[in-house]
Structure 1
Amino acid sequence: MKHLLLFILCLTLSACDLGNKPAVMFQHADDGSLASAISDDASIGIVSSVNNGIVVWDLEYNQKIYQWNHQGEEGGNNIIANIDIAPDKSHVVTADRGAFAIWSLQTGEPIGFWRIDESSIRDLAVCNDGRAILIGRGNGKVLFFEHTTGRRLEFLGHQEKINSVDLSPNGYYALTGGNDYVAYLWDTRTGQVVYRFDHPSRVTKVVLDSQGQYAFTADSQKEAIIWDLTTGQEKSRLSYIQRQKIFSFARFSEDGKWLLTGSPDRHLTLWDVETGEKKQDWRVRPGSNSLTKSAVVYSASFYGENQVISESSSGWAEVWDIN
């Protein structure tokens, strides 16, 4: 009987694994990646890896468009660990711990490089037209920077290091979360707080809906909340059984009905915004060099009518069917 049960369990696990197969997959970094980003419309993917620098991919045809390196990296290893693409696909911002760069996606040329000396860069975001950059730092300060005018605004509302930031497409509103258990939605024109979202532990991931309807904030323990930005009140909470769940990525669908999240444990998940219930879950390919055979989901986007596409630390782009 024990052998029969073991055989049935093996069959069940095999069936589950078969159901987790991507529809299509492309290798974008042989040695795994340090960071990745996918555009809102899933047409552009950007992958940072140690040996290949920063590579911009056309995801429709799986073709390289550009290959970039930060200043001073020629002959050395690439260490870019933060990437963001403007919602209108006009610009890209990339950063290591101490410097960031703005690039034009139209020409492939750099707009400029800037160094942050005061504290390390923890996360960043860029708005439409590449007009402004938002940078969260290890000292708890958030820098809003308009490179065309030189205008700088420092948000000092956080008391501890910043873990995650996001910027509205027009650049007027910022969402920031840190180790002080708080996420703030604030106005970049004035520095004034619009809403304060409290958590029982450090806030590890924040994201804004591109239409300005919702915000998502998640902490390091149990709370992952979707907020209604018209009222500042809770819309729903993601429903899961884990005692602790970390999110490495999040993105709302354009119509605001769905939320995509990624985790450091290979999981890519689709959630219903209205209820917080899980609709579907996939597991990305593990990294070949990973001792734990795991992978971090860096980015994902809705791909046509019934698919999503992901980029992970394994260096693979994978397309998944929505059932």
Structure 2
Amino acid sequence: MYRLARNTRAPEDVYAASLERLGLGYPLWCPEPDASGEPQIADVGLLHEGKFVRLLHLDTSAPEKKVTRFKPPFENIAPLPPNTIMITRTDDRLSANHYCSHGVRSKDIRASVTVPVDASTSLNLQADYTCREAQGAALTLQTNADAEQTLPNKSLNSYILQNFAAWREYATEVLNLDVKAEDLVVVIGWVKTAPDWTVTAFGVDKHAKTSLSLGAKIANWVGVSLSGAFSTSMRTSSIQRRAPRHPHQSQHLDGVVHRNQCVFMKRMRVKERPVFPRKIVAGAGYDDYSPWRRPAQDALEAAGRGVEDERRYAEDCWKEYISDGRIRDRLDITQDYIFETSTATVAVVSDDQVDILLCGQHIVDFASWLRTVQPRVEVDNHGVGSLDMGDIIRYQQEHRFTNPPITPADTAVWPAISRNGAGSLKDSQILLGPTGTKACPVAYKSVVFGDVEQMPIHLPESVSLSTDGMLLAAATENTIAVWRLQDGLTVQRLKKDGHTDTVEQITFSPDGQYIVSGAEDKLALVWDVKTGDVVHRLEGHEASVTYVAFSPDGTQIATRSSDSELRMWSASSGELLYAIRDLKSRLSTAILFSPDGFRLAARSDATIENTSVVVLDCRTGSRIATLRKQYIHCMAFSPSGDRIATGSTDGNACVWDVASGKALLELKEHTALVEEVAFSPDGGEVATASNDGTVVTCDSRTGERRFTFRVESIRGKDEEWVRAVAYSPKNEFIACGADNGCVHVWNRRTGAFVATFQGHSDSVRRVMFTPDGWDILSHGDDDVVRMWSIRDALRLS
């Protein structure tokens, strides 16, 4: 039976409904671990008065995560199928800050920095805040928060549905809990911090107006923007909780910050079709329902109806929608939408799916918005309904890359920002399945930068990604375009007073503020990315400048020309530091800085057969070592900079000690040219990509082979040449580009096939991971760059 909401709302409901719009997951009013233990991914439990209670843990391979408060038969839990739960640490780390809901506004902020006796920096904040909504919430973190998640997929859905009845029976029959199916949730992600948080719910009394003052001492404050609020004075309209500081929950133990306080949780939930159907309603308080903010508001004001008339009208409209005075969960609203628009008897939905669909938008009336967007619902043969993930992803892509808005804030940072030449969505597909040979195509739209006719990107070396992963630059003829990856907009074109001939290579400076380019006009230019101006003209080469590189600390620039001359320049002044003219090379003039910035590797050869890599001291140009081997074709530094891997045209690869020039390993894994070599992020593995159609990974210390990844031919060739290989910097993925126009991805730890991305019409010559490890950029001989999402592939699998 539906009735009007209580005057006093449960603070956990107000808090969750207000802050879940941040898109970080479901906010927990009680982040501290319950007696059942710290929340873990793959937990099954329930939410009770703002806290999460663990009932059982699904990963039987992790007995240390078993729930010990209750006594479930751990060995009788149906085991998770392989690769169903892939836990990854994400880049969604939250900084120490104030996080507030829509409507919480600051009138004034005052800050001062102090240095206490222990020399750790603290920041004292004072501010006045007003909550302009009938409800609101704020979370204050004094310590950074970490995030982990696993991506929902069809295998996980199937596993949950097959076993959900048993979990519910355990909760009701064994534990004697009065729970409905929708009360149980599966944890698929979390955000955790140290026990120094503060949570506040504003507007618990729906008729009260809220005006609050802020006073806080935030420790270890680094690079924080000031926003949000928390209450230090109690009012009838607000309730506040602080982290309980028990001895066993000390923030620092043995010098380590223990982050076990779950401030946000991502859930997956199952709900059965109700006997008596309900209408889906707004996702927040009564005054957030659409009549309160409807477009006709101006007309009402013109007719002389004031704010109180509006409020009464909105309240009347809510009488039939509010049940038991509780503010409704977005998952509940979404599941009711599934029942309303399909024949499903069971609805499965997750916070991750809702967040993808929202695309970071602030939606007050989520229910009405859902009906407007009308995402498709997929119902399987068993009557299980869920949002069509392919449809959600397409909506997300179109929202980001189809005519994205250009705001005043954008033009303030990028005066030349434009949709002209921006990245656009093009038809492609992803092959998904248990193995590469059994994979099936799924329609997908990838983002494409460049144009075959108007803006061709000819060379793989003429593409560069900024260190922070925010910007992509590529050269076409004598112009360099710079795009913003978040929406594909063109933010800069570098051409004025620039090159007069084809640009051969470009690269970003480590801080992303500059680009150095080398061209056939014998010039190397340093550009200011923001202004588009040429900062330095590095003149003196007598042949085309084919390779350019910034040192890792951004203080030096190395350039090399087609006549093999190497020059080192000061990045700040453009002054020539030294030149080396005896590094003759017939095939390649590649240069490479070591990650520590102390060394520079340059390929050199006397003849095609008699090749070597010369290792130089960056400061003086003096030789440290010479790595001699026949037919060296490619090279890569280890992350620590103490070793170099080389690949040769005879199919062999070597790992060398940089200091001595001694060969540590010789890897004879291929029958054809090794196109590219790469070290794993931890340096423990080396990968070689070859024209024999394989990528081989080996232990970089012992040479033991780990996996051989074979690229299947799709054009009737005996072997699909593999042209490029790259490791994900954060996750367990390895990717390669091949002559079949595809980007292939595997799990490097297990050897499992992940996905194949199809879209290029010609050979893929280069692959690059973004810094978070989830997106791949590929350049092909079709003269375009495409961007692919591994997250999307896993969600669709």
Aligned to 1:73: 522
Aligned to 1:30: 455
Out of 461, 469, 474, the position equivalent to 1:42 is: 469
Aligned to 1:10: none
Aligned to 1:6: none
The answer as to whether partners of 2:766 and 2:779 remain within 8 angstroms in 1 is: yes
Amino acid at match of 1:245: E
Aligned to 2:689: 218
Aligned to 2:786: 318
Aligned to 1:148: 619
Q: Give the 3 Å change call, closer, same or farther, for CA 131–239 of structure 1 in structure 2.
A: same
Tell me, in whole angstroms, the C-alpha distance in 2 between the residues paired with 1:168 and 1:251. 13
Out of 246, 249, 257, the position equivalent to 2:732 is: 257
The answer as to whether partners of 2:550 and 2:558 remain within 8 angstroms in 1 is: yes
Offset of residue 118 of structure 1: 2.1
Worse-superposed segment, 136-145 or 83-92: 83-92
Please, which runs of 5 or more residues in structure 2 have no aligned partner? 1-426, 431-441, 493-513, 524-542
Tell me, in whole angstroms, the C-alpha distance in 2 between the residues paired with 1:108 and 1:261. 39
The answer as to whether partners of 2:693 and 2:710 remain within 8 angstroms in 1 is: no
Once the two structures are superposed, residues 191-243 of structure 1 have per-residue CA deviations (whole angstroms, 9 ceiling, x without a partner) of 11111101333322211123211100133214421012243211111133344
Q: How many residues align?
A: 297
Aligned to 1:172: 642
Q: Give the 3 Å change call, closer, same or farther, for CA 204–110 of structure 1 in structure 2.
A: farther
Tell me, in whole angstroms, the C-alpha distance in 2 between the residues paired with 1:299 and 1:58. 18
Q: Give the 3 Å change call, closer, same or farther, for CA 63–132 of structure 1 in structure 2.
A: farther
Q: Give the 3 Å change call, closer, same or farther, for CA 228–87 of structure 1 in structure 2.
A: farther
Q: Is residue 136 from structure 1 mapped to residue 599 from structure 2 by the alignment?
A: no
Aligned to 2:712: 241
Aligned to 1:266: 741
Out of 655, 660, 671, the position equivalent to 1:190 is: 660
Offset of residue 320 of structure 1: 1.4
Tell me, in whole angstroms, the C-alpha distance in 2 between the residues paired with 1:101 and 1:69. 12
Aligned to 2:632: 162
Q: Give the 3 Å change call, closer, same or farther, for CA 37–101 of structure 1 in structure 2.
A: farther
The answer as to whether partners of 2:689 and 2:725 remain within 8 angstroms in 1 is: no
The answer as to whether partners of 2:723 and 2:764 remain within 8 angstroms in 1 is: yes
The answer as to whether partners of 1:210 and 1:252 remain within 8 angstroms in 2 is: yes
Amino acid at match of 2:735: L
Worse-superposed segment, 144-153 or 117-126: 117-126
Q: Is residue 120 from structure 1 mapped to residue 586 from structure 2 by the alignment?
A: yes
Identity among equivalent positions (%) equals 19
Offset of residue 121 of structure 1: 5.2
TM-score of the superposed pair, with normalisation by structure 2:
0.33
Q: Give the 3 Å change call, closer, same or farther, for CA 33–79 of structure 1 in structure 2.
A: farther
Aligned to 1:297: 765
Aligned to 1:21: 445
User: What is the aligned-residue RMSD (CA, Å)?
Assistant: 3.8
The answer as to whether partners of 2:685 and 2:698 remain within 8 angstroms in 1 is: yes
Q: Give the 3 Å change call, closer, same or farther, for CA 255–195 of structure 1 in structure 2.
A: farther
Out of 692, 695, 702, the position equivalent to 1:231 is: 702
Aligned to 1:308: 776
Q: Is residue 279 from structure 1 mapped to residue 754 from structure 2 by the alignment?
A: yes
Once the two structures are superposed, residues 237-280 of structure 1 have per-residue CA deviations (whole angstroms, 9 ceiling, x without a partner) of 11333442323222111246111212244222211112434311
Q: Give the 3 Å change call, closer, same or farther, for CA 276–86 of structure 1 in structure 2.
A: farther
The answer as to whether partners of 2:518 and 2:547 remain within 8 angstroms in 1 is: no
Q: Give the 3 Å change call, closer, same or farther, for CA 107–228 of structure 1 in structure 2.
A: same
Offset of residue 188 of structure 1: 0.7
The answer as to whether partners of 1:143 and 1:154 remain within 8 angstroms in 2 is: yes
Offset of residue 297 of structure 1: 3.3
The answer as to whether partners of 1:135 and 1:165 remain within 8 angstroms in 2 is: no
Amino acid at match of 1:296: V
Please, which runs of 5 or more residues in structure 1 have no aligned partner? 1-13, 287-293
Q: Give the 3 Å change call, closer, same or farther, for CA 150–169 of structure 1 in structure 2.
A: same
Worse-superposed segment, 83-92 or 38-47: 83-92
Q: Give the 3 Å change call, closer, same or farther, for CA 27–133 of structure 1 in structure 2.
A: same
Amino acid at match of 1:187: D
Offset of residue 174 of structure 1: 0.3
The answer as to whether partners of 2:428 and 2:759 remain within 8 angstroms in 1 is: no
Offset of residue 166 of structure 1: 0.4
Q: Give the 3 Å change call, closer, same or farther, for CA 246–86 of structure 1 in structure 2.
A: farther
**Structure (1/2) with the larger helix percentage:** 2
Q: Give the 3 Å change call, closer, same or farther, for CA 305–226 of structure 1 in structure 2.
A: closer
Offset of residue 66 of structure 1: 3.5
Amino acid at match of 1:318: R
Tell me, in whole angstroms, the C-alpha distance in 2 between the residues paired with 1:40 and 1:247. 26
The answer as to whether partners of 1:166 and 1:175 remain within 8 angstroms in 2 is: yes
Offset of residue 41 of structure 1: 5.0
Structure of greater relative contact order (alpha carbons < 8 Å, 6+ residues apart): 1
Q: Give the 3 Å change call, closer, same or farther, for CA 38–121 of structure 1 in structure 2.
A: farther
The answer as to whether partners of 2:693 and 2:722 remain within 8 angstroms in 1 is: no
Tell me, in whole angstroms, the C-alpha distance in 2 between the residues paired with 1:279 and 1:115. 46
The answer as to whether partners of 1:251 and 1:260 remain within 8 angstroms in 2 is: yes
Query: Which has more radius of gyration?
Result: 2
Tell me, in whole angstroms, the C-alpha distance in 2 between the residues paired with 1:121 and 1:55. 28
